[in-house]
C-alpha cells in the first residue's frame, strides 16, 4: 500500500519505487492505473520519438528533443491526470501529449516549422510546448491562481475540483522563473504539482554543478512537500502523481515531484553528448529501461504473447502514419503570424502584413 509519509523526502532521500529492474512488484499501491494501457502508452510514444529522430535525420524536421528513457515518468504522470486537470509541458513531454490525446503528427509541426504550436490546448487541457526554459512554471502558477478564484478546489466534488501539473527538467531549477513559481505556489497554497524529470543533464551540465541537495529537498526551502520517485518505474511515478494531484485538488497545496531518470539520447538532435558524458553510464541506465521493466512484470504475471504482438502491430501502423503525416503537413499561411498576434490589428502591423504578403508573392512568381 502507498502511505503518503513513505513518499516524503527523508533525510537519506529514499527513492519511492514499486517495480524492480527484474520486473518484480516489490510494493503495491492504491493508485490504480491500468498496466496494459501504460505499457501501450510507453511503447507507442517511444515509437513516435524514434520516427521523429529518423525524420529529422532525413531533413524533414529542423530539430527534435528525444525523450528516450523517460517514458515511465511521463506516462505515469500523464495517466494520473483527470480530464479537467491541465498540464503544462516543456518541449520533451511527447508521452504526456500522447496520454492527453494529442495527435503525434501535430507534435511534429513545431519542429517542421509549419506551425507555432500545433494543437488547441483547450481541446485536451494540454498546453503548447514551451521552449523557454522554466517559463511554463509561471504559466502554470497563473492558471492555478485562476482555479482558486473560480472556486474549483477543495469543494469535495470530483467533477469540479481541478489541479495543474507542470513539467520541468532539472536545468529549469536554475532559472529565476521556476523559483518565483515556487514562491507563489507556496505562499498562496495553490493546487499545483511540479513534476521535475531529473534526467541528470541540463544539456552538457550535470545536476551536480547546479545544486548541493536533491531536487525534492529544494521544496522544503519554499515550504511545501517534496517527493523523490524512481522515474523509470511507471507504477511508482503514477502512484506519486496521483497522490500529489489528489492533495492539490483537495486544497492541500503544491508538491514537487523529483522523478529520477536518465536522458539516454542527446539533448536534441543537434547535440553531441559524446563530448561530455561516458557512454557506459547510458548503458547502465538502459538496464533500467521502463518499458522492459513493465514488460517483464506483465510476462511474469502470465500475460499472453498475443497482447505484446498486438501492441507491436499497432506500433508499425503508427510509425507509418507519423511518416506520412509529417511529410504532408500543410505549409503555413504567410499571414498567420500577423493575424493571430493581437486581437485588433494596428495600422502599422497591417502595413507590415501587406508588405510581407507582397514579398512572398514576388518570390513565388520568381520560383514559377
Cα 243 from Cα 2, distance rounded (Å): 9
Cα 47 from Cα 41, distance rounded (Å): 10
Report yes or no: 256 and 41 within 8 Å, Cβ to Cβ.
Answer: no
Q: Are strands 205-206 and 201-202 parallel, antiparallel or unpaired?
A: antiparallel
Cα 277 from Cα 203, distance rounded (Å): 11
Residue 201 grid coordinates = 543533464
Is 297 in the active site? no
The one catalytic residue among 27, 84, 139, 276:
276
Task: Show the 3-state SS of 220-247.
Answer: HHHCCEEEEEECCCHHHHHHHHHHHHHH
Is 207 in the active site? no
Report yes or no: 53 and 171 within 8 Å, Cβ to Cβ.
Answer: no
Report yes or no: 171 and 210 within 8 Å, Cβ to Cβ.
Answer: yes
Is 267 in the active site? yes
Cα 116 from Cα 237, distance rounded (Å): 31
The one catalytic residue among 47, 94, 238, 263:
263
The one catalytic residue among 267, 293, 295, 297:
267
Cα 5 from Cα 218, distance rounded (Å): 18
Burial 102-125 (b: 16+ CB within 10 A, else e): bbbbbbbbbbbeebeebbeeeebb
Report yes or no: 185 and 144 within 8 Å, Cβ to Cβ.
Answer: yes
Give burial (CB, 10 Å; 0-12/13-18/19+) of 199: buried
The residues annotated with a catalytic role in the active site are 263, 267, 276
Amino acid at each position: 500500500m502507498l502511505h503518503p509519509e513513505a513518499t516524503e523526502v527523508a533525510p537519506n532521500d529514499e527513492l519511492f519505487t514499486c517495480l524492480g529492474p527484474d520486473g518484480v512488484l516489490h510494493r503495491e499501491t492504491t493508485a490504480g492505473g491500468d498496466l496494459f494501457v501504460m505499457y501501450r502508452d510507453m511503447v507507442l510514444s517511444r515509437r513516435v520519438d524514434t520516427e521523429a529522430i529518423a525524420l529529422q535525420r532525413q531533413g524533414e524536421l529542423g530539430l527534435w528533443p528525444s525523450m528516450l528513457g523517460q517514458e515511465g515518468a511521463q506516462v505515469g504522470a500523464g495517466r494520473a491526470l483527470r480530464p479537467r486537470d491541465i498540464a503544462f509541458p516543456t518541449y520533451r513531454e511527447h508521452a504526456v501529449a500522447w496520454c492527453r490525446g494529442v495527435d503525434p503528427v501535430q507534435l511534429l509541426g513545431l519542429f517542421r516549422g509549419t506551425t507555432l504550436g500545433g494543437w488547441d490546448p483547450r481541446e485536451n487541457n494540454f498546453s503548447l510546448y514551451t521552449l523557454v526554459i522554466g517559463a511554463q512554471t509561471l504559466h502554470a502558477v497563473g492558471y492555478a491562481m485562476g482555479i482558486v478564484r473560480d472556486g474549483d478546489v477543495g469543494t469535495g466534488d470530483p467533477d469540479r475540483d481541478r489541479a495543474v501539473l507542470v513539467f520541468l527538467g532539472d536545468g529549469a531549477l536554475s532559472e529565476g522563473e521556476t523559483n518565483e513559481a515556487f514562491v507563489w505556489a507556496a505562499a498562496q497554497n495553490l493546487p499545483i504539482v511540479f513534476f521535475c524529470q531529473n534526467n541528470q543533464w541540463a544539456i552538457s551540465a550535470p545536476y551536480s554543478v547546479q545544486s548541493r541537495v536533491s531536487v525534492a529537498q529544494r521544496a522544503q526551502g519554499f515550504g511545501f512537500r517534496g517527493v523523490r520517485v524512481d522515474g523509470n518505474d511507471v507504477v511508482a511515478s503514477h502512484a506519486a502523481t496521483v497522490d500529489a494531484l489528489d492533495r492539490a485538488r483537495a486544497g492541500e497545496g503544491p508538491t514537487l515531484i523529483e522523478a529520477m531518470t536518465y536522458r539516454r539520447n542527446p539533448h536534441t538532435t543537434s547535440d553531441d553528448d559524446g563530448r561530455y558524458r561516458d557512454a557506459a553510464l547510458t548503458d547502465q541506465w538502459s538496464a533500467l529501461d521502463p518499458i522492459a521493466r513493465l514488460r517483464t512484470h506483465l510476462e511474469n504475471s502470465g500475460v499472453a504473447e498475443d497482447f505484446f504482438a498486438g501492441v507491436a502491430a499497432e506500433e508499425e501502423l503508427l510509425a507509418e502514419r507519423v511518416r506520412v503525416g509529417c511529410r504532408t503537413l500543410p505549409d503555413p499561411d504567410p499571414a498567420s503570424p500577423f493575424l493571430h498576434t493581437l486581437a485588433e490589428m494596428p495600422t502599422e502591423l497591417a502595413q507590415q502584413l501587406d508588405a510581407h504578403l507582397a514579398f512572398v508573392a514576388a518570390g513565388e512568381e520568381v520560383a514559377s
